[in-house]
């Protein structure tokens, strides 16, 4: 089963005292099951953003442990900074990452609030998906008046905390806990004043200058401030839903307005972590805008770092700033993670798994990888310059198929293992027999779907391979010949794996449809492979 992973991003009102910052970090990291991913202090804001992940239970405990330490070390009566705040632990959001729903995260916020109120005696407000009150749904609504106005605000019935005492605690203030989508804290650097930065923020943030003058972008909060340590101002934005307003959209809109003000923009800064998807969305934007040809993920990330100037204040290291790279939610399976020698030994061992299905997927990946290589060797070379536009069309589907085949190597073995597990189920009663029979049929169908997917994926790339054979780098002729033969062999292997599993499936309609599909695809594979080989055999240049 997929592990349940929740992200927690508490913001504590201390960004200058390293001892306090480190003590809170250690308190969070000491909780079993909590992985502290990032600690991002801000001197001018006097605020530190901590990012950690774990199970729902562990992240709640981690947040509470951080709050316990903050209670000993932070005194809000002495706190001053550029960032708005309500308390020592100002805001504590829980965000779904893997295997959990937004409702699960809202429950984390409620459990945290209940325990913080009882164990620490602090007032806690709920926000976002954890709140059911429209007038106090967002952080700005709850934080209005800030710490300085809380002593009077908390006495009002409509501002009674969801948990804890309805009284002002001078040393602490109040805490806001909730559940939300992934928020990207994003700052754009300008060589101007705090007032100019704030003017730019007013232009683009959702609420704008008020109900009669809304901003241009949706799901965006923003303000301007000045960074003394960097000697520049920042347009500080919270992108509440990066699918509604992306990082690159916010940056480009700010650049456009800054030009009108004759103010220089010198890069930007992501505070904390960023989802990989947000970075790739920005990459796709610049690739299309500048008509670039970039396919590899690491090069796309490099492009975004450069175009957005993400290393302008401190180096942006993708390995430590992109959340998927840190938590590795999409690890490769055990077979494709093996050295090639070990994979071959596994195939040759006294075990039926891995078997022909995994081998077929691996052969398919290698076959189309060779075709991809020929595409690259025909692109960006002065000798083949006339082919660049054509290669831009041919390489992407070949490379994508190569990537798609890789997880099928492990998927085939996993499907077979599930079928074997089903065979071991008890069958002592009619009910047990029925459950076992269904599990076995499901396992057989899963064992059909993987090689069927190998065949379908191969079918998508025969035409690009034919076109590549006509014009590709003639010096790589043999590589494409091997690639075509390998892909045809992989289709044959997948075909045999489909057939052997179909014979035991009791769903005749399903079996008939699948068999017709794979037989047609096999004919296509034979015809296209022959066509590619004939084209290459006749080419001399």
Provide the β-strand partners of residue 87.
173
d(CA 252, CA 194): 19
80 is catalytic: no
- Residue burial 97-123, b: 16+ Cβ < 10 Å; e: rest: beebebeebbbbbbbbbebbbeebebb
d(CA 67, CA 175): 10
83 is catalytic: yes
- Using CA atoms in the order 137, 140, 144, 150, what is the torsion angle rounded to 10 degrees? 70
- Using CA atoms in the order 372, 377, 383, 386, what is the torsion angle rounded to 10 degrees? 20
Catalytic member of 75, 83, 284, 479: 83
Report the relative pairing of strands 89-98 and 124-128 from DSSP bridges: unpaired
C-alpha count within 13 angstroms, C-beta hemisphere, residue 138? 11
Q: Which of 58, 158, 67, 82 is nearest to 117 (CA)?
A: 67
Q: Which of 135, 165, 137 is nearest to 150 (CA)?
A: 165
d(CA 68, CA 393): 57
Count of beta carbons in the 10 Å neighbourhood of residue 355: 16
Catalytic member of 162, 257, 404, 412: 412
- Residue 311 burial (CB < 10 Å; 0-12/13-18/19+)? middle
Give the length of the chain. Answer: 541
Count of beta carbons in the 10 Å neighbourhood of residue 425: 14
Q: Which residues are catalytic?
A: 83, 412
């Amino acid at each position: 089963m997929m592990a349940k992973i929740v992200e927690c991003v508490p913001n504590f009102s201390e960004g200058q005292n390293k001892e306090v910052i480190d003590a809170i970090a250690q308190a969070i990291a000491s909780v079993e099951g909590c992985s502290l991913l990032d600690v991002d202090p801000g001197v001018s804001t006097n605020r530190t953003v901590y990012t950690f992940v774990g199970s729902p239970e562990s992240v709640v405990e981690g947040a509470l442990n951080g709050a316990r330490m903050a209670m000993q070390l932070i005194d809000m009566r002495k706190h001053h900074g550029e960032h708005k705040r309500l308390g020592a632990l100002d805001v504590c959001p829980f965000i779904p990452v893997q295997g959990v729903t937004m409702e699960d995260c809202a429950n984390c916020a409620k459990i945290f609030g209940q325990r913080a109120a009882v164990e620490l005696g602090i007032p806690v407000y709920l926000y976002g998906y954890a709140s059911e009150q429209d007038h106090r749904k967002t952080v700005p609504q709850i934080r209005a008046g800030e710490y300085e106005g809380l002593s009077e605000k908390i006495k009002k019935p409509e501002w009674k905390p969801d948990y804890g005492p309805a009284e002002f605690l001078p040393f602490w203030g109040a805490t806001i806990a909730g559940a939300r989508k992934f928020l990207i804290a994003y700052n754009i650097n300008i060589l101007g004043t705090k007032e100019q930065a704030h003017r730019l923020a007013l232009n683009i943030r959702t609420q704008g200058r008020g109900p009669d003058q809304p901003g241009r972008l949706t799901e965006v909060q923003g303000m301007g401030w000045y960074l003394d340590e960097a000697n520049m101002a920042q347009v500080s934005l919270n992108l509440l839903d990066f699918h509604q307003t992306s990082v690159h959209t916010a940056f480009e809109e700010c650049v456009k307005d800054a030009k009108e003000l004759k103010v220089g923009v010198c890069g930007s800064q992501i505070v904390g972590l960023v989802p990989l998807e947000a970075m790739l969305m920005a990459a796709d934007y610049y690739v299309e805008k500048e008509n670039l040809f970039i396919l590899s993920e690491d090069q796309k990330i490099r492009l975004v770092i450069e175009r957005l100037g993400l290393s302008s204040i401190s180096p942006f290291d993708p390995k430590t700033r992109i959340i998927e790279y840190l938590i590795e939610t999409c690890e490769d399976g055990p077979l494709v993670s093996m050295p090639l020698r070990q994979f071959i030994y596994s195939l040759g061992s006294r075990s039926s798994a891995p078997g022909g299905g995994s081998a077929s997927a691996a052969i398919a990946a290698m076959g189309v990888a060779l075709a991809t290589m020929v595409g690259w060797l025909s692109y960006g070379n002065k000798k083949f310059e006339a082919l660049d536009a054509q290669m831009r069309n041919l390489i992407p589907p070949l490379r994508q198929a190569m990537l798609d085949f890789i997880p099928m190597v492990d998927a085939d073995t996993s499907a077979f293992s599930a079928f074997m597990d089903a065979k071991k189920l008890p069958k002592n009663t009619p009910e047990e027999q029925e459950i076992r029979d269904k599990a076995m049929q499901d396992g057989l169908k899963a064992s059909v779907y993987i090689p069927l997917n190998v065949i379908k994926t191969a079918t998508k790339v025969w035409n690009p391979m034919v076109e590549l054979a006509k014009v590709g780098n003639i010096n790589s002729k043999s590589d494409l010949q091997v690639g075509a033969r390998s892909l045809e062999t992989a289709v044959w292997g997948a075909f045999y794996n489909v057939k052997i599993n179909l014979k035991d499936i009791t769903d005749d309609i399903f079996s008939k449809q699948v068999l017709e599909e794979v037989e047609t695809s096999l004919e296509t594979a034979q015809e296209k492979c022959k066509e590619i080989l004939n084209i290459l055999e006749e080419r001399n240049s």
